[in-house]
Amino acid sequence: MKLRRIALIAVVVAAIGALFAFGLLRGNPDDRNITSNLIGKPAPTFALPLYERYWPDYGETFSLQAHVGRPLVINFWASWCLPCYEEAPVLQQAWQTYGPQGVQFVGIQTQDRDKRDEGRTFIARFNLGFPNVLDNDSLVGVDWALYGVPETFFVDASGKVVAKHIGPVTAAVLDQQLGALLR
Amino acid sequence: MFDLELGPLGSASVFLAFGLAVYGAVAGIVGAARRDARLQTSARLAAVAGFILATAAVVVMQAALLTNDFSVTYVAGHSRIASPTWVKVVTMWAALEGSILLWSWLLTGYTALLAVTAPLSPLRPYAISIMQAVQVFFLGVLAFIANPFKVVPLPPLDGPGPNELLQNHWMMAVHPLLMYLGFVGLTVPFAYAMAALITRRPGTEWMAQTRRWTLTGWGFLSGAIVAGGWWSYEVLGWGGYWAWDPVENVSFMPWLTATAFIHSVQVQERRRMLKPWNVLLIVTTFSLSILGTFLTRSGVVSSVHAFGNGPVGPAFLVFFLLVTLTAFGLLALRWDDVRDRADLDSIVSREGSFLGVNILFVTLTAAVLLGTLFPLIVEAFTGDKVTVGAPFFDQTTLPLWLLVLALMGIGPLLPWRRAEQQRLARNLALLTGALVVSGALAWLLGVHKVYPALTVALAGYNLMSLYLLLSGALVPRLRLANRGALHVLRSYAVESRRRVGSMIVHFAVVIVAVGVAFSSGYRVDEQIRLDFGSSAEFSGYTLTAVDRFMERTPARISAGAVIEVTRGGRPVTTLRPRLNLFGEAGRTVPTPAVYYTATHDLYLNLNSSVGPDTTFVVLRVVKSPLVTWIWVGGAILLFGTAYSLGGGRRPATARAVAGEKPEGAPA
């Protein structure tokens, strides 16, 4: 009798467990993973002021228009964003690999009004070699329909957005996307 | 800034507290099994030391938040330099890891208090060990899965700040605290119930020793639910307070079963019946509080305010399954000890009505659980995505609520064992009279909707019931005492705190019920476009958009409209609904402006953005009758709970013997 009761309880608990395990495994209906409407469309252009250290190579303003014709990696970050600190060294590493192969990287500091000192500290800490600009009014972020930071966009040589990555970008993602763009 | 590193310090506290919890859980049980008093004492000391260490972890977290130490992961991920101090303090429970820290801390606090104050009994060592076993889970999650003290190798210069919706209202400082105090409080009777099963002592001992804990936990949980409703009303901008969202439902279900439990235990105290019910109810309450945490922390059911996914979800699932299996398994093993020997003498009796309460509240819980999990069940079997909205919950629960109100009026008037026909007939006649008169009065005054009208009728019926209860208790005393009515009332209120407390709580429930019935039944909800300088009519009021404004503090930018409210040409108030932007990254969140009155609220929410060039605003305007009475009722309910807990510490069993005669029926 006792055994039968306990078996019954075990079956019910197992059924409940199976239902919830299904809930966990099916993944989360995460609203951030909606694919961007920008994919397949021309990249929204911008011209933003560069940080001083890039002036010798790029001038005072970085204009996207001027760089269309090469594969582009556009990374949005902010000084208060923890994952941005994780991905910055990854981006710098990739820049050293892919920059010489003709890929242009650009970092856009956004959602960070008047945080120029913080921006300079961020760039200096990771010794970022690729150009970085400040989107002080976060308007470029709006044009690119940012959900949050960090987000990274990949643009092909014709100036079309081909992919978007949400959250900290990894070497694997960069290799995969840029491998396809350089083929 | 601090020279010592806060991250490792916090982690060390958590790890040590975890170790102590493991030790205490094992030592307590081994000590109890071997009747080794020294081991038992060391387990109790471990409980106290665990609380001190958990307190250290909380102090470290607060220090890290207040000094903007972004080398601590949690601070880097959820705090922000520009936030005001109070927001930094409450940021501790604004996200997942911190809220588990708060929960663990309160749990260690309750365990330590129990270890120090609980009277010596065969149950005590097991109960404390079970509390410590629950700690092992929470502190384990904190130490190994969601450690908020992890060190950030390259600390950011600032953080994003907590969720915007949580920075928006001071209630956010209160609601989660109350919620966890409630959940943790209800862990105590659960631990004692388990101890009673382990020791084969399923008598009244375990519930007598936990009555205060149970009522305190229930009171906090009730307060948390009302506070959550009020927060939702003041922040979310839709003019409502309850949306049957999964996150609300999962806090509501343990409350439903706990409510059944605090009623049901009285039957066991008096009549030694409903023993299996009581164990079942408290086990379910505890399981549901863990289930709720799992559901909201795992993304398994989609909710407007889920915490998102992560490794914490599976951990809570495993713990929930383990608790459910162990507790129900233990109950099955001990079924022969727990089973009731006596039968109901008559269904028309106090115990019969308490059984009715159990059935109603368990049915309500089942309905809410089904509605909450239904989308998941459908998806598991068919792959379709469905949602279950408020109409399902309203339609299934409203009739049950009315039955609850009906039972609440008659139940306390029934004597234990069996009601006498004559007295019952008289009481029923008076109750029915009150029901019909107040229902008819409501109808004549224009309440023509079914549920509000029925609620008014049942409110009148319940007020009559309270009058009968009070007069039934006071009239004989008046005759005997030969003193003034006020004196007799005062001495009765002091002598019978438990009884008077329950009357106050039932009165509060009537008030809340009327508030809910009218604010949902007669709500007027409109969207109005107003050019600046122009006016619009709404439900007897004239709203004029006079001006726009903009405020900037370090933490937020707000923009809003100044709306002048007049009635019949006379100025009533000026409301300033606004939109806030916290930090650069945030979404804008609205702060509605509410004009509170005793009869209705006028609620304005800004549905359009306001800038220097805007020429008009779009307002959501809501008029909800009697909504304030929900908050007032909530406050009265808490007062009633506190009242019944106050006063001397007479053991419940002594009182049960002293008051053997049924009260509440006029002689």
Using a CB-CB distance cutoff of 8 angstroms, which residues of chain A are in contact with residue B159?
80, 82
List, for residues A56-77, the tens digit of each pLDDT value. 999 999 999 999 999 999 999 9
Q: Does any domain span residue B555? A: yes
State the pLDDT at residue B34: 94
Count of positions (residues) in chain B? 667
> Is residue B368 within 8 Å of residue B393, measured between CB atoms?
yes
Please check whether residues B442 and B550 belong to one and the same domain. no
Place of tokens 């009533």: B572
Using a CB-CB distance cutoff of 8 angstroms, which residues of chain A are in contact with residue B76?
82
Please check whether residues B5 and B135 belong to one and the same domain. yes
B556-567 and B570-575 beta bridge pairing:
antiparallel
Q: CA-to-CA distance for B184 and B217, rounded, in angstroms?
A: 7
Return the minimum-mean-pLDDT range out of B79-88, B151-160, B415-424. Answer: B415-424
Across the interface, do B585 and A80 touch by the CB < 8 Å criterion? yes
**Residue A31: pLDDT band with limits 50, 70, 90:** very low
Chain A positions contacting chain B at CB under 8 Å are 2, 5-6, 9-10, 13, 16-17, 19-24, 26, 28-30, 78-82, 84-85, 110-113, 115, 118, 121-122, 125, 138, 148-149
Cα angle A112, B97, B167 (rounded to 5 degrees) comes to 45
The domain in which residue B401 lies consists of 390-521+629-658
Q: Does any domain span residue B291? A: no
> Is residue B252 within 8 Å of residue B365, measured between CB atoms?
no
Across the interface, do A121 and B157 touch by the CB < 8 Å criterion? yes
Using a CB-CB distance cutoff of 8 angstroms, which residues of chain B are in contact with residue A113?
584
List, for residues B280-319, the tens digit of each pLDDT value. 999 999 999 999 888 887 777 766 554 555 678 889 999 9
Q: CA-to-CA distance for A18 and A24, rounded, in angstroms?
A: 10
Q: CA-to-CA distance for A122 and A88, rounded, in angstroms?
A: 9
Across the interface, do A79 and B76 touch by the CB < 8 Å criterion? no
Of B124, B141, B162, the last residue of a domain is B162
State the pLDDT at residue B220: 96
Give the residue with greater pLDDT, B304 vs B409: B409
Residue B338 has pLDDT above 90, yes or no: no
**What residues contact residue A49 under an 8 Å CB cut-off, 6+ apart?**
A60, A61, A62, A133, A134
List, for residues B484-502, the tens digit of each pLDDT value. 888 888 889 988 999 999 9
Q: CA-to-CA distance for B472 and B466, rounded, in angstroms?
A: 10
Q: CA-to-CA distance for B506 and B265, rounded, in angstroms?
A: 17
Across the interface, do B156 and A149 touch by the CB < 8 Å criterion? no
In whole angstroms, what separates CA B528 from the centre of its chain?
35
Going by C-alpha positions, the residue among A40, A101, A109 that lies closest to residue A70 is A101
A72-77 and A104-109 beta bridge pairing:
parallel
Return the minimum-mean-pLDDT range out of A110-114, B17-21, B113-117, B455-459. Answer: A110-114
Q: Which of B309, B320, B584 comes nearest A28 by C-beta?
A: B309
Give chain B's domain count: 3
**Residue A27: pLDDT band with limits 50, 70, 90:** low
Q: What is the mean pLDDT of chain A?
A: 90
Is the link from the previous residue into B592 a cis peptide, with omega within 30 of 0? no
Q: CA-to-CA distance for B86 and B167, rounded, in angstroms?
A: 9
Please check whether residues B551 and B470 belong to one and the same domain. no
B367 min Cα distance to partner chain A (Å): 16
Q: CA-to-CA distance for B564 and B571, rounded, in angstroms?
A: 8
Q: CA-to-CA distance for A162 and A155, rounded, in angstroms?
A: 6
Please check whether residues B27 and B101 belong to one and the same domain. yes
**Residue B576: pLDDT band with limits 50, 70, 90:** very high
**What residues contact residue A100 under an 8 Å CB cut-off, 6+ apart?**
none
Q: Does any domain span residue B473? A: yes
Q: Which of B314, B332, B377 comes nearest A2 by C-beta?
A: B332
Across the interface, do A118 and B157 touch by the CB < 8 Å criterion? yes
Using a CB-CB distance cutoff of 8 angstroms, which residues of chain B are in contact with residue A11?
none
State the pLDDT at residue B69: 95
State the pLDDT at residue B173: 83
Across the interface, do A24 and B300 touch by the CB < 8 Å criterion? yes
List, for residues B535-557, the tens digit of each pLDDT value. 999 999 999 999 999 888 877 88
A32 min Cα distance to partner chain B (Å): 11
Q: Does any domain span residue B53? A: yes
**For B322, left (φ over 0), alpha (ψ -120 to 50), or beta?**
alpha
State the pLDDT at residue B640: 96
Across the interface, do B298 and A23 touch by the CB < 8 Å criterion? yes
Please check whether residues B496 and B564 belong to one and the same domain. no
Count of positions (residues) in chain A? 183
Q: CA-to-CA distance for B600 and B626, rounded, in angstroms?
A: 5
Domain CATH for B52: 1.20.120
Q: Does any domain span residue B546? A: yes
List, for residues B178-190, the tens digit of each pLDDT value. 999 999 999 999 9
State the pLDDT at residue B7: 93
Provide, rounded to the nearest whole percent, the portion of chain B with pLDDT above 70: 94
Across the interface, do B317 and A112 touch by the CB < 8 Å criterion? no
Most B CBs within 10 Å, among A24, A82, A116, to test the B interface = A82
Chain B positions contacting chain A at CB under 8 Å are 73, 76-77, 80, 152, 154-161, 294, 298-302, 308-309, 313-314, 317, 320-321, 324-325, 328-329, 332-333, 335, 373, 376-377, 379-380, 385, 583-585
The pair of structure tokens assigned to B539 is: 């439900």
**What residues contact residue A162 under an 8 Å CB cut-off, 6+ apart?**
A39, A40, A154, A155, A156, A177, A180, A181
Place of tokens 């269309």: A68
**Residue B449: pLDDT band with limits 50, 70, 90:** very high
> Is residue B244 within 8 Å of residue B389, measured between CB atoms?
yes
Torsions phi, psi of B539, nearest 5? Answer: 50, 45
State the pLDDT at residue B302: 67
Please check whether residues B559 and B439 belong to one and the same domain. no
Bridge partners for B602 per DSSP: B595, B623
Across the interface, do B584 and A111 touch by the CB < 8 Å criterion? yes
List, for residues B249-258, the tens digit of each pLDDT value. 999 999 999 9
Q: CA-to-CA distance for A89 and A174, rounded, in angstroms?
A: 13
Q: CA-to-CA distance for B614 and B578, rounded, in angstroms?
A: 14
> Is residue B193 within 8 Å of residue B282, measured between CB atoms?
yes
State the pLDDT at residue B651: 45
Please check whether residues B70 and B86 belong to one and the same domain. yes
Whole-angstrom CA distances from B395 to B249, B442, B451 are 15, 22, 11
State the pLDDT at residue B1: 47
Please check whether residues B38 and B72 belong to one and the same domain. yes
3-state SS, residue A39: coil
Give the residue with greater pLDDT, A1 vs B396: B396
Average pLDDT over residues A27-43: 69
Q: Does any domain span residue B176? A: no
Please check whether residues B597 and B619 belong to one and the same domain. yes
> Is residue B600 within 8 Å of residue B175, measured between CB atoms?
no
Going by C-alpha positions, the residue among A88, A81, A164 that lies closest to residue B70 is A81
Using a CB-CB distance cutoff of 8 angstroms, which residues of chain B are in contact with residue A5?
332, 335
3-state SS, residue B667: coil
The pair of structure tokens assigned to B385 is: 């995505």
B640 min Cα distance to partner chain A (Å): 38
Going by C-alpha positions, the residue among A96, A47, A95, A49 that lies closest to residue A72 is A95
Other CB atoms within a 10 A radius of the CB of residue B172 amount to 24
Torsions phi, psi of B528, nearest 5? Answer: -125, 135
Please check whether residues B515 and B419 belong to one and the same domain. yes
State the pLDDT at residue B665: 37
Q: What is the mean pLDDT of chain B?
A: 89
Q: CA-to-CA distance for B662 and B658, rounded, in angstroms?
A: 11
Q: CA-to-CA distance for A35 and B295, rounded, in angstroms?
A: 26
Residue B662 has pLDDT above 60, yes or no: no
Q: Does any domain span residue B170? A: no
Please check whether residues B73 and B97 belong to one and the same domain. yes
Nearest C-alpha in A relative to B161: A80
Residue B661 has pLDDT above 70, yes or no: no
Average pLDDT over residues B69-76: 94
CATH pick for A32-182 out of 2.60.120.10, 1.10.3720.10, 3.40.30.10, 3.40.50.1110:
3.40.30.10
Residue A92 has pLDDT above 80, yes or no: yes
Is the Cα torsion angle B658, B661, B666, B667 positive or negative in sign?
negative
Residue type, B661: K
Q: Which of B321, B324, B584 comes nearest A138 by C-beta?
A: B584
Q: CA-to-CA distance for B417 and B354, rounded, in angstroms?
A: 12
Across the interface, do A28 and B308 touch by the CB < 8 Å criterion? yes
Of B162, B185, B213, the last residue of a domain is B162
The pair of structure tokens assigned to A89 is: 């060294």
3-state SS, residue A87: helix
How is chain A split into domains, by residue range? 32-182
3-state SS, residue B343: coil
**Residue B247: pLDDT band with limits 50, 70, 90:** confident
B316 min Cα distance to partner chain A (Å): 11
Average pLDDT over residues A33-39: 72
B304 min Cα distance to partner chain A (Å): 11
Give the residue with greater pLDDT, B111 vs B349: B111
Place of tokens 């019946």: B273
Going by C-alpha positions, the residue among B274, B245, B289, B253 that lies closest to residue B366 is B253
ipTM of the complex: 0.83
Q: CA-to-CA distance for B575 and B614, rounded, in angstroms?
A: 18
Average pLDDT over residues B625-635: 96
> Is residue B199 within 8 Å of residue B126, measured between CB atoms?
yes
The pair of structure tokens assigned to B615 is: 């020429």
Using a CB-CB distance cutoff of 8 angstroms, which residues of chain A are in contact with residue B292?
none
Q: Which of A9, A16, A81 comes nearest B160 by C-beta?
A: A81
Please check whether residues B20 and B84 belong to one and the same domain. yes
In whole angstroms, what separates CA B635 from the centre of its chain?
13
Other CB atoms within a 10 A radius of the CB of residue B403 amount to 17
Average pLDDT over residues B125-153: 95
Residue B524 is inside which H or E element, if any?
strand B524-531
